[in-house]
């Protein structure tokens, strides 16, 4: 490998590890937020934040939306194996950190939504990074919302808030994803 190629490979690894660290950090952050931070904290329930006029969602949804994007970036930088390993590690961490009443819902929703994200992102990534991230995250956040709410509460009453809250975080990353795509193309990191 030539020196510039070695430098690019090293940069990919460093960025991949940073994305992985961010991804893993989203899991305890989501669990902490849902229990401690919001404009309203329901006794024996989640803390809520407004995500649209008249629409509230558990505050942890913000980190879940970000996690979906970061998992895609882990795969982009470190490969499919690391992407799948990150999902497994994330599911295990979610099981360890979720409130006892929500362990099953949190773990299963995390695992299924991340695998759905993976299934959509993987074939689309070569056709356009921004599109792949947006579409895979949309599939992942809908899957996460439906599975979590159904398993945790047997109801989809808060589905809209869950989806909107996660979608805001995904949309907030679009400028950074687009910048990354353009920089990767310029440097040969794509």
DSSP codes, 23-37: HHHHHHHHHHHHHH-
Mean pLDDT score of the chain, rounded to an integer?
Answer: 89
Residues in the chain: 190
Q: Is residue 1 part of a domain?
A: no
d(CA 35, CA 99): 8
Give per-residue pLDDT as tens, 117-131.
999 999 999 889 999
d(CA 156, CA 178): 33
Q: What pLDDT does residue 190 have?
A: 65
pLDDT of 3 above 70: no
Q: What pLDDT does residue 8 have?
A: 80
Helix (H) or strand (E) holding 20: helix 3-36
Q: What pLDDT does residue 103 have?
A: 84
pLDDT of 49 above 90: yes
Q: Give the global pTM.
A: 0.87
57, 162 Cβ separation under 8 angstroms:
yes
Q: Is residue 183 part of a domain?
A: yes
Q: Is residue 90 part of a domain?
A: yes
Q: What pLDDT does residue 35 have?
A: 85
88, 131 Cβ separation under 8 angstroms:
no
Q: What pLDDT does residue 134 have?
A: 95
pLDDT of 47 above 80: yes
3-class DSSP state of 49: strand
Quote the number of domains for the chain.
Answer: 1
For residue 5, name the pLDDT band (cuts at 50, 70, 90). low
Q: What is the percent of the chain where pLDDT is above 90?
A: 57
Give per-residue pLDDT as tens, 131-188.
999 999 999 999 999 998 899 888 898 899 999 999 999 999 999 999 999 998 888 7
pLDDT of 110 above 80: yes
Q: Is residue 37 part of a domain?
A: yes
pLDDT of 88 above 80: yes
User: What phi and psi, each to the nearest 5 degrees, are found at residue 2?
Assistant: -75, 165
Q: Is residue 68 part of a domain?
A: yes
Strand partners, 58: 48
3-class DSSP state of 190: coil
Q: Which domain holds residue 115?
A: 6-187
67, 27 Cβ separation under 8 angstroms:
yes
38, 47 Cβ separation under 8 angstroms:
yes
Q: Is residue 32 part of a domain?
A: yes
Q: Is residue 105 part of a domain?
A: yes
- Which of the pair, 187 or 20, is modelled with greater confidence? 20
pLDDT of 1 above 60: no
């Amino acid at each position: 490998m030539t020196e510039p190629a070695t430098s690019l490979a090293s940069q990919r690894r460093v960025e991949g590890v940073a994305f992985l660290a961010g991804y893993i950090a989203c899991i305890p952050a989501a669990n902490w937020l849902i229990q401690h931070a919001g404009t309203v904290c329901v006794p024996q329930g989640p803390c809520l934040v407004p995500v649209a006029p008249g629409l509230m969602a558990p505050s942890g949804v913000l980190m879940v939306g970000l996690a979906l994007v970061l998992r895609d970036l882990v795969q982009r930088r470190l490969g499919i194996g690391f992407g799948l390993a990150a999902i497994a590690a994330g599911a295990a961490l979610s099981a360890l950190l979720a409130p006892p009443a929500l362990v099953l819902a949190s773990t299963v929703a995390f695992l299924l939504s991340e695998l759905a994200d993976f299934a959509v992102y993987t074939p689309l990534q070569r056709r356009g990074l921004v599109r792949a991230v947006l579409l895979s995250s949309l599939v992942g956040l809908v899957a996460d919302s439906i599975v979590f709410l159904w398993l945790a509460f047997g109801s989809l009453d808060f589905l809209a808030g869950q989806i909107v809250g996660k979608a805001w975080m995904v949309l907030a990353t679009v400028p950074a994803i687009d910048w990354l795509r353009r920089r990767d193309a310029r440097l040969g990191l794509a």
